[in-house]
Amino acid sequence: MKKVIETKKVNKIFGDGEIAVHALNDVSIEISEGEFTALVGPSGSGKTTLLNMIGGLDNPNSGNVILNAQDIGMLKKNEMTEFRQKNIGFVFQAYNLIPVLSAYENAEFIMLLQGISSQERKERVYKLLEEVGLKGKENNKPGELSGGQQQRVAVVRALAAKPAYILADEPTANLDSTATNDLLDLMYRLNQEENMTFVFATHDQRVIDRAKRVIYLDDGKVVKDELR
């Protein structure tokens, strides 16, 4: 299988001197195209930090992050922005929805930047919003939605642009069992049909149970890498 995500001896240190925290410690992983991978471990183990490194949202102190044979540490800021826009879908724990935009407008935002036609945007967004149980909420702004509903809009925004990689930080944290299962069903279907590569940072056993690969982190180190 084609290797599409690789980290080579990635280190990340926050702070310095006596208060320095080694968030990642020589982390080397390889993820192949179409994998459905969970990064798991206790709070502070480095899951979110590693996800942010893979997405180019933060830079390592040392080591390399390579996506589809491109060392993203070599990209200029504007090049990295363009690369993310074309290739990566993010689901943030804090949602990061735009407050003045409706659920529909938030969900279509990345596609708008990509220049995708109005008709195609409409078809994709309406279909995905319906699949995550938000039919009828298209015109609601984030402040008019519950936390779980905002989370689902954030997921639709990430999926709608059909990126090669989906990086999701605790995507089911505010969802009940029914919404979680619907969301995971949708993600798994897109993984199979579109060959999207998914990487989750999660505590949720429901996500871990669905994952085809589980990478365990503790104290910033990979302690176990399990294929299923």
Q: Produce one character per residue of 50-61: b if its CB has 16 or more CB atoms within 10 Å, e if not.
A: bbbbbbbbbebe
Helices (H) and strands (E) in the chain, counts: 7, 10
* pLDDT tens digit sequence for 123-161: 999 999 999 999 999 999 999 999 889 989 999 999 998
* pLDDT tens digit sequence for 157-206: 999 988 999 999 999 888 889 889 988 999 999 999 999 999 999 999 99
* 12, pLDDT greater than 90: yes
Residue 72: its pLDDT value, please? 95
The residue assigned the tokens 């994952």 is 211
Residue 20: its pLDDT value, please? 87
Lowest mean pLDDT segment, chosen from 60-64, 102-106, 113-117: 113-117
Write down all domains in the chain, each with its CATH number in brackets: 3-227 (3.40.50.300)
**Mean pLDDT within 31-48:** 95
* 95, pLDDT greater than 90: no
The CA distance from 92 to 154, in Å, is 8
Confidence of residue 17 (pLDDT cuts 50, 70, 90): confident
* pLDDT tens digit sequence for 49-82: 999 999 999 999 999 999 999 999 999 999 999 9
* 113, pLDDT greater than 90: no
Task: Pinpoint the alpha helices (H) of the chain.
Answer: 47-54, 77-87, 103-114, 118-131, 147-160, 177-194, 205-210
Confidence of residue 46 (pLDDT cuts 50, 70, 90): very high
Whether the CB-CB separation of 205 and 35 falls below 8 Å is answered with no
Confidence of residue 16 (pLDDT cuts 50, 70, 90): confident
Residue 140: its pLDDT value, please? 97
Whether the CB-CB separation of 51 and 201 falls below 8 Å is answered with yes
Residue 23 DSSP one-character state: E
* 98, pLDDT greater than 90: yes
- Classify the phi-psi angles of 164: left when phi > 0, otherwise alpha if psi is within -120 to 50, otherwise beta: alpha
Lateral strand order in the sheet of 36-40: 88-91, 165-169, 197-201, 36-40, 213-218, 221-227
In single-letter form, the type of residue at position 114 comes to: Q
In single-letter form, the type of residue at position 199 comes to: V
**Mean pLDDT within 19-41:** 95
* 99, pLDDT greater than 90: yes
